Amino acid sequence: MRSRLLPSALALLALLLLPSAAQAKLTVGISENSPSVFTDPLFQQLGAKHTRVVTSWNVMSSPERGDDELARLTQYLEAARAQGVTPLVTFEHARGDAGICKRRSNRRKPQCVLPSARQYEREFKRFRAAFPYVTTISPFNEVNHFTQPTSRNAKAAARFTDIARRNCRGCKIVAVDILDQADNVRAKRPTFNKTVRYIKAFRRALKSPRTICGVHNYSDVNRGRSTGTKAIIKALGCREIWLTETGGVYSFGSFKPSAKRQLKSTKFMFKVARQNRRIKRLYVYTFFGRINDFDSGLVARGKARPAYFEVKKRI
């Protein structure tokens, strides 16, 4: 009897020693658009095997427009491939300052115009033909933010996801990328009713599975809360969650320059990720400091900030 029980007991012990879903190692990547990241010694020292790059939905038409967007993306993707790094390619509005899109009078500007399903599919097919080795894709960035034309049309965002899945069989498709926009960001107990309504409209229109969904939870991470992250994850109802853009802010608006606060927020970012079993991956934004007046960089002027070392411990 004892000899029969021993294998069973050992098997049970082995199961107990395995990490639970909540304890399993989180996949940590870096969200950075500059191709120069791959030649930076500090990036190489991180040992990151996943990166994220954001590009225009019509990047393949870049040569026809006479700009260098496609050339830079090609350089980025080839460098990632050479280093064995898996890129998540995220599409967004056409190239240009989308901050102007809040005003109705600017809605006809290229960066504010919503592509038709036919236009999006044509450009997506061109991208797939040029980069067949890219198999991790997010059809549209921050679909609910005013800088994206999808913010005014959740059905269109859903159509783009369906198009991406149909034309990229076997790919990992991030069904949607949602920003944690509170109804009142300064409220002590913020609500997310508008964002949840958008998600519901998206879900009704979506025909393909919501296997992986993306959340951008800056507001939570930098204010020491998880209210928005929880509300959005619940509303999305996805099997797996990726924090596709997150990070501790060094300076932005009312957030005055502070490496100490950035480090604190970075630590909290990982805490939030551990709180939900469905969160399997996160991409820290960004590697290099300062993008216009927004700075969440892990590195500035060639020197690593304290938050860099916190991220390095987690990779």
pLDDT tens figures, 55-96: 999 999 999 999 999 999 999 999 999 999 999 999 999 999
Distance (Å, rounded) from C-alpha 92 to C-alpha 240? 22
pLDDT at 11: 44
pLDDT of 17 over the 50 cut: no
pLDDT at 2: 37
Report residue 254's pLDDT band, with 50, 70 and 90 as the boundaries: confident
Residue 116 to residues 58, 107, 120, 155, 184, Cα–Cα distance (Å): 12, 15, 6, 11, 32
Report residue 12's pLDDT band, with 50, 70 and 90 as the boundaries: very low
Residue holding tokens 């399903």? 117
pLDDT at 293: 84
Q: What percent of the chain has pLDDT over 70?
A: 92
pLDDT at 8: 43
pLDDT of 260 over the 70 cut: yes
Domains of the chain (ranges, CATH numbers): 23-314 (3.20.20.80)
3-state secondary structure the chain: CHHHHHHHHHHHHHHHHCCCCCCCCCEEEEECCCHHHHHCHHHHHHCCCEEEEEEECCHHHHHHHCCCHHHHHHHHHHHHHHCCCEEEEEEECCCCCHHHHHCHHHCCCHHHCCCCHHHHHHHHHHHHHHCCCCCEEECCCCCCCCCCHHHHCHHHHHHHHHHHHHCCCCCEEEEEEEECCCCCCCCCCCCCHHHHHHHHHHHHHCCCCCCEEEEECHHHHCCCCCHHHHHHHHHHCCCEEEEEEECCCCEECCECCCHHHHHHHHHHHHHHHHCCCCEEEEEEECCECCECCEECCCEECCEECHHHHHHHHHC
pLDDT of 18 over the 60 cut: no
Could you tell me which residue, 223 or 3, shows the higher pLDDT?
Answer: 223
Within a 10 A sphere around the Cβ of 263, how many other Cβ atoms?
18
> Residue 285: what are its φ and ψ, rounded to 5°?
-115, 120
pLDDT digits (tens, 9 = 90+) for 172-227: 999 999 999 999 988 889 999 999 999 999 999 999 999 999 999 999 999 999 99
> Mean per-residue pLDDT for 17-35?
76
pLDDT at 253: 86
Strand partners, 214: 177, 242
Six token digits for residue 44: 């190489």
Average pLDDT of the residues of the chain: 93
Q: What percent of the chain has pLDDT over 90?
A: 89
pLDDT of 23 over the 80 cut: no
pLDDT at 158: 99
pLDDT of 47 over the 70 cut: yes
pTM over 0.95: no
Report residue 140's pLDDT band, with 50, 70 and 90 as the boundaries: very high
CB contact at 8 A, 237 and 203 = yes
